[in-house]
Amino acid sequence: MFLITPNSELTEVEKSKLSLLEKIFRAPTEAFDLYLRNVSLGRKELLRLHYALWVLAPISKIAGNLIKIILDLVFGNEVDFNPFSGVITSLIIYPVLLLVVSQYDVVRVFYRKVDRTKGENYPAADVLTLAFLAFSSSSVFWILPSPINLGLIGISFLYSIYLSYIGMKRVSGLDSKEILIFFLFGTAYLLSISLVFVFIYNIIRTLLN
C-alpha cells in the first residue's frame, strides 16, 4: 500500500484500507461500519495501515528540515545543518500513543459484564485503534515548521478523541455519560498499572544501588 505507482493495480485489501482512511475523515460512522463488515479488514491490516502512516513522519520531518536549511541559506544568517533534528521524536510519538490507545481498547472490550449464557457477546474490538488513524495521519504535518506542525498534530489528536466518542456510540451503544465514566475508569486502571511498574522499578534501583 505504501508505494503505489500510477500504473500499479491495487488489491482488494489495499482498496479497502484506502477507503477506510478516506471515510475516517469524510464519514466517520461509515468508517466504523466498513471496518466491522469487511472481512478483509482485521486488526492486522489496521495496524499495517498505522505503520504505513508512521513512516511518513520521519520522512516529512527530514524534508521539512531540508526546506528550512535551504531557506536559512537564502534568507537567514545562521544555518543549522542538521537534517535529522526532531526525527526521533516524530517517529516514536505514534507507536507510544497507539500502545496506550490499544490498552484502552482492551479495557473497553471487558468494561461491561457479558453473560455468554444469555447469548451476549463482547463488543467489537479495535474501535479506538481505528479512531486514532486520524492521529497517525498527522505524520504528514511534520514537514511544516513549528509551532504550526504541533498545532495541527494536536488538532488531529483531539479529532481522534472525538472519533473515539463517535465509534463507541456507534459500535457499543454507549451514551455520553457512560463514555465519560469509561474513560475515567480506563485512565484510573492504566495509572494503577503504571504505579505498580514504577514501584517495582524503584525497588530494583534501590537494591542495585
Instruction: Return d(Cα 91, Cα 206) in angstroms, integer.
Output: 33
* Same domain, residue pair 70 and 168: yes
Q: Using CA atoms in the order 38, 96, 137, 151, what is the torsion angle rounded to 10 degrees? A: 150
On whether residue 154 sits in a domain, the answer given is: yes
Do 93 and 192 belong to one domain?
A: no
Alpha carbons 75 and 35: distance in angstroms, whole number: 49
Instruction: State the pLDDT at residue 112.
Output: 73
Supply the pTM of this predicted model.
0.87
Confidence of residue 209 (pLDDT cuts 50, 70, 90): confident
**Res. 34: pLDDT tops 50:** yes
For the cut 50, the answer to whether the pLDDT of residue 33 exceeds it is yes
For residue 91, the tally of other CB atoms under 10 A from its CB is 18
One-letter amino acid identity for 15? K
Q: Are 23 and 133 in contact (CB under 8 A)?
A: no
If asked whether residues 192 and 91 sit together in one domain, one would say no
**pLDDT of 20 higher than 90:** yes
Let me know if residue 3 belongs to a domain.
no
Number of domains forming the structure of the chain: 2
Pair (85, 97) in one structural domain: yes
Q: Which domain holds residue 32?
A: 12-109+118-174
With 70 as the cut, is the pLDDT of residue 97 above it? yes
pLDDT of residue 114: 67
> What is the pLDDT at residue 207?
85
139, 122: one domain = yes
Please tell me whether residues 164 and 180 are part of one structural domain.
Answer: no
37 exposed, middle or buried (CB, 10 Å; 0-12, 13-18, 19+)?
exposed
Q: Whole-angstrom distance between the N-terminal and C-terminal Cα of the chain?
A: 50
pLDDT-above-90 percentage for the chain: 60
Mean pLDDT for the stretch of residues 73-91: 87
Is 103 a domain residue? yes
Instruction: Write out the three cell numbers for 165.
Output: 466518542
Residues 141 and 201 in one domain: no
| Predicted local confidence at residue 115, as pLDDT | 63
193: nearest Cα among 106, 75, 78, 98: 106
Which residue pairs, CB below 8 angstroms and at least 24 apart, start in 97-101? 97/132, 97/135, 97/157, 98/50, 98/129, 98/132, 98/136, 100/190, 101/128, 101/129, 101/132
**Which tens digits make up the pLDDT trace of 156-190?**
999 999 999 999 998 877 889 989 999 999 999 88
Please report whether residue 1 resides in a domain: no
Closest by CA position to 96, among listed 124, 62, 54: 54
Shared-domain flag, residues 102 and 196? no
Residue 4 belongs to some domain of the structure: no
Share of the chain above pLDDT 70, in %: 93
Alpha-carbon distances, residue 135 vs 17, 94, 140, 153 (angstroms)? 16, 8, 10, 7
* Claim to verify: residue 24 and residue 92 sit in the same structural domain: yes
Q: Judge whether 132 and 99 are in contact, CB under 8 Å.
A: no
Whether 202 is in a domain gets the answer yes
